[in-house]
A and B are shown apart, each in its own frame.
Chain A
Amino acid sequence: MTVSLTIENLSAHYGTTQVLKDLSLSVAAGELVSLLGSSGCGKTTTLRIVAGFLQPTTGTVRLGDRDLTTLPAHARDIGLVFQNYALFPHLSVLDNVAFGLKQRDIGKPERVRRAIAMLERVGLAPLSDRLPSALSGGQKQRVALARALVIEPPLLMFDEPLSNLDAKLRIDMRVEIRQLQRANGTTSLYVTHDQEEAFSISDRVAIMNAGRILQLDTPEVLYRRPANAFVARFVGFENLIRMKVTGREGAMITAEAAGGTRLHLSQDVFGPIKDEFVLAARADGLSVRRDGEGIPATLGTRTYLGRAYQYKCETAAGEITANGALSDPLETGTRAVLTPVAEQCCILDPED
Chain B
Amino acid sequence: MNKLARWGLTMPATIAVVVLLVIPVLLTIATTFGEAKGPFSTYAAFFNSGFRRAVLYRTLKVALITTAISLVIGFITAYVIAQMPGRLKSIAIIAAVFPLLTGVVVRSFAWLIILGKNGIINDTLLSTGLITEPLSMLYTEGSVIVAMVYLFVPLMILTLTGVLEGIPRDLIEASASLGAKPVPTFLQVILPLATPGLIVGAVLVFTGSFTSYATPQLLGGEKQMMMGTFLYQRAMVTFDWVGASTIAAIMVVITIAVVTIMSRIARRLNPMAV
| A contacts, CB < 8 Å to B | 51-53, 72-80, 82, 84, 86-90, 99-100, 102-104, 131-134, 147-148, 151
Contacts and interface: CB of A to CB of B under 8 A. Distances in A.
Interface of B: 168, 170-171, 173-182, 184-185, 188-189, 192-193, 269, 271-274
A104 B174 CA distance: 15
B240 to A, nearest CB: 50
B271 A73 contact: no
A103 B180 contact: yes
B168 A86 contact: yes
Give the most central of A51, A75, A100, A134: most B CB within 10 Å: A100
Leading 10 A-B pairs by shortest Cβ distance? A100-B178, A89-B271, A86-B170, A73-B176, A103-B179, A86-B174, A80-B177, A133-B274, A90-B271, A74-B176
B179 A77 contact: yes
Contacts of B188: 99, 102
A84 B274 contact: no
Given A84-B168, A151-B179, 18 more contacts: A52-B177, A53-B173, A74-B176, A78-B177, A80-B174, A80-B177, A84-B170, A86-B171, A89-B193, A90-B271, A99-B178, A100-B179, A104-B179, A132-B271, A134-B274, A147-B178, A148-B178, A151-B178
B189 A88 contact: yes
A26 to B, nearest CB: 21
Contacts of B181: 74, 103
Contacts, number: 75
Contacts of B192: 90
24 contacts: A52-B177, A53-B173, A74-B177, A74-B178, A74-B179, A74-B180, A76-B177, A78-B177, A80-B174, A86-B168, A86-B170, A88-B171, A88-B175, A90-B193, A90-B271, A99-B180, A103-B180, A103-B181, A103-B184, A133-B271, A133-B274, A134-B274, A147-B174, A151-B178
A79 B168 CA distance: 19
Contacts of A151: 178-179
A51 B175 CA distance: 12
Give the most central of B179, B182, B184, B273: most A CB within 10 Å: B179
A86 B173 contact: yes
B180 A51 contact: no
Contacts of A99: 175, 178, 180, 188
Give the most central of B174, B177, B192, B274: most A CB within 10 Å: B177
B85 to A, nearest CB: 12
A88 B174 contact: yes
A77 B180 CA distance: 10
Given A51-B177, A88-B189, A104-B179, A131 B171 contact: no
Contacts of B179: 74-75, 77, 100, 103-104, 151
Contacts of B272: 89
Nearest to A72: B176
A253 B168 CA distance: 60
Nearest to A131: B271
Contacts of A103: 178-181, 184
A147 B173 CA distance: 14
Contacts of B178: 74, 99-100, 103, 147-148, 151
B186 to A, nearest CB: 12
A73 B184 CA distance: 14
B169 to A, nearest CB: 9
A75 B173 CA distance: 12
Contacts of B189: 88
A151 B181 CA distance: 15
A221 B179 CA distance: 38
A148 to B, nearest CB: 8
A100 B178 CA distance: 5
A163 to B, nearest CB: 14
Nearest to B170: A86
A78 B189 CA distance: 19
A103 B175 CA distance: 9
Contacts of A73: 173, 176-177
Nearest to A133: B274
Give the most central of B173, B185, B189, B192: most A CB within 10 Å: B173
Contacts of A75: 179
A152 to B, nearest CB: 12
Nearest to A95: B188
